[in-house]
Amino acid sequence: MGGTFDPIHHGHLVAASEVADRFDLDEVVFVPTGQPWQKTAAEVSPAEDRYLMTVVATASNPRFSVSRVDIDRGGPTYTADTLTDLRKTNPEAQLFFITGADALEQILSWRKLDELFENAHFIGVTRPGYELDAEHLPDGAVSLVEVPAMAISSTDCRRRVAEGRPVWYLVPDGVVQYISKRSLYRKPTDEPT
Ligand code: ATP
Ligand code: MG
């Protein structure tokens, strides 16, 4: 499951857990993006912070792990490269790529489209506020899965922190503490001078 994870929240975790159960997956690998090519540098927290929050959030689940492939590759992240790298380190594995309904809508705009579908089976999950359909995608390339509706986004979590409102129960406790410890998402005016 790829994502910016800025921060990781319970929408991501529930989707991963639900798909792991439905598809009997051995492992869900969370892959925080390097610099996302659709977002500009200023909008995205440092990769190490996003990586560590993802580690904190997934540490208690023996079937969840975190990969640094996109962060360590450097440069903009393309999911086709993510899958190629994961394929290299797991040549025997059957790969699935979990993606929310909003990202699935965008998928045709992703780079190296044929490589994408060669390397993994895509699993589109429901997300409140978005229509889940795979009509625009190649036959058989994508499965659609309904997951418990979590109306949570990282954008809303960041806004909440900036406004001094709570993110408790939207993100795991350890992530609340990490955000506070590293003073992430504060408005520039909140920075100590
Ligand atoms: P942002 O608001 O910064 O875009 P986000 O909440 O969309 O953050 P991402 O890191 O962009 O989180 O998403 C990673 C993946 O998780 C995407 O495929 C996205 O569709 C999916 N996803 C995110 N939130 C949910 C949710 N609440 N329910 C289901 N899928 C989700
Ligand atoms: Mg998003």
- Which residues share a beta bridge with 145? 125
Phi, psi dihedrals of residue 126, rounded to the nearest 5°:
-65, 150
Low-confidence ranges of the chain (pLDDT < 50): none
Calculate the CA 111 to chain-centre distance: 18
Ramachandran angles phi, psi of 70, nearest 5°: -75, -35
Q: What is the number of the ligand closest to the CA of 2?
A: 1
Tokens of 17: 């857990």
Confidence at residue 171, expressed as pLDDT on a 0 to 100 scale: 98
d(CA 62, ligand 1 centre) in Å: 22
Task: Give the chain's domains with CATH numbers.
Answer: 2-149 (3.40.50.620)
What pLDDT does 74 receive? 86
> What ipTM did this prediction achieve?
0.99
Nearest-5° Cα angle at 18, 13 to 23: 130
Q: Give the tokens for residue 138.
A: 């190649």
Phi, psi of 76 (to 5 degrees): -65, 145
Q: Give the per-residue pLDDT at 193.
A: 52
Ligand 1, atom 7, lies closest to the CA of 153
Q: What integer pLDDT is reported at residue 192 of this predicted model?
A: 56
Among the bound ligands, name the one nearest to the CA of residue 79: 1
**Which of ligand 1's atoms lies nearest the C-alpha of 101?**
20
Q: Between helices 47-58 and 173-181, what is the axis angle to 10°?
A: 150
